[in-house]
Amino acid sequence: MLTQEQTLRFVFKPLLLLACLAPFLHLAAGAAGLGGMSLGANPVESVLHGLGKWGLNFLLVTLCITPLRQITGWVHWMRFRRMLGLTAFFYLLGHFAFYLVVDRGLDLRVLAEDVIARPYITVGLAGLLLLVPLAATSTRASMRRLGRRWQALHRLVYPAAILGCVHYYWQVKADVREPLVYFTVLGALLGWRWWKHRQRLSRAAPAGRSRQIRFLPSLAAARGQQDGRQDERATRGRPRGHRLAQ
């Protein structure tokens, strides 16, 4: 009988790795013509779009992990976050590399012209660049080294995902329904975080106030003020209490 740790390590993680690689293997099989598979009439476009789409898919799936943990209470969802995030980066780096090498013949001058002339390329590149420090600091050692700054740095994933969706929306020629679905999903994921953040703040407020109340009698005595409401006003200027009361 496997323990929970062994199940996570030897069953769930390998299965997830397989799921992460499946779209890539599917594209590779199409490119190689394995088992009668093909990339269709425009193979360059199929690979470029496939890598971009899967990169964005995995980015949004990565953003689902925290809400899933909060909703289900199962903390082990977090064990899958790094693999999903790195998979998103792998596909998006491939998307960029494919565009640069195959579509643009590795001509950096042409790339620079595209960045200037096509806003969707500028936005896509900005999104990808934001993901670079996240991938570079995804190790446990970086997490330990950066401490609280790691969390702050990894909030870059939000603007990166927004830029990714804008990039997708902008490059679509006519039917924008699919990019709008991506925007809706991203909006729901960011909205959830915002709502949770507000909840945390309002939970912190009563705690902050009760701390103030405990502190008030001595302050009141020192000032000769017995009225609690006056005392509360008197402490409002204190930065710590003020912050907690928000």
* Interacting residues toward ligand HEM by CB under 6 A: 45, 48-49, 52-53, 55-56, 92, 95-96, 99, 121, 124-125, 127-128, 160, 163-164, 167-168, 171
Contacts of the segment 4-8: beta carbons below 8 A, 24+ positions apart: 4/76, 8/76, 8/79
CB of 127 to ligand HEM, least distance (A): 3
Closest CA to 216 of 202, 199, 233: 233
Q: Quickly list H helices, the chain.
A: 4-7, 13-32, 43-72, 81-98, 108-117, 119-136, 140-146, 148-154, 157-171, 177-223, 228-235, 239-245
Closest CA to 51 of 5, 84, 88: 88
Site of tokens 């640069």: 100
CB of 156 to ligand HEM, least distance (A): 11
In angstroms, the Cα distances linking 93 to 54, 128, 155, 160, 181 are 11, 7, 19, 13, 23
Nearer to ligand HEM, 26 or 49 (CB): 49
CB of 230 to ligand HEM, least distance (A): 54
Nearer to ligand HEM, 135 or 204 (CB): 135
Nearer to ligand HEM, 92 or 185 (CB): 92
CB of 125 to ligand HEM, least distance (A): 4
CB of 33 to ligand HEM, least distance (A): 21
CB of 44 to ligand HEM, least distance (A): 10
For the record, the structure tokens of 38 come out as 């093909």
Taking a C-beta distance cutoff of 8 angstroms, is the pair 138, 86 a contact? yes
Nearer to ligand HEM, 80 or 96 (CB): 96
User: Residue 126 and residue 132: Cα distance in Å, rounded?
Assistant: 10
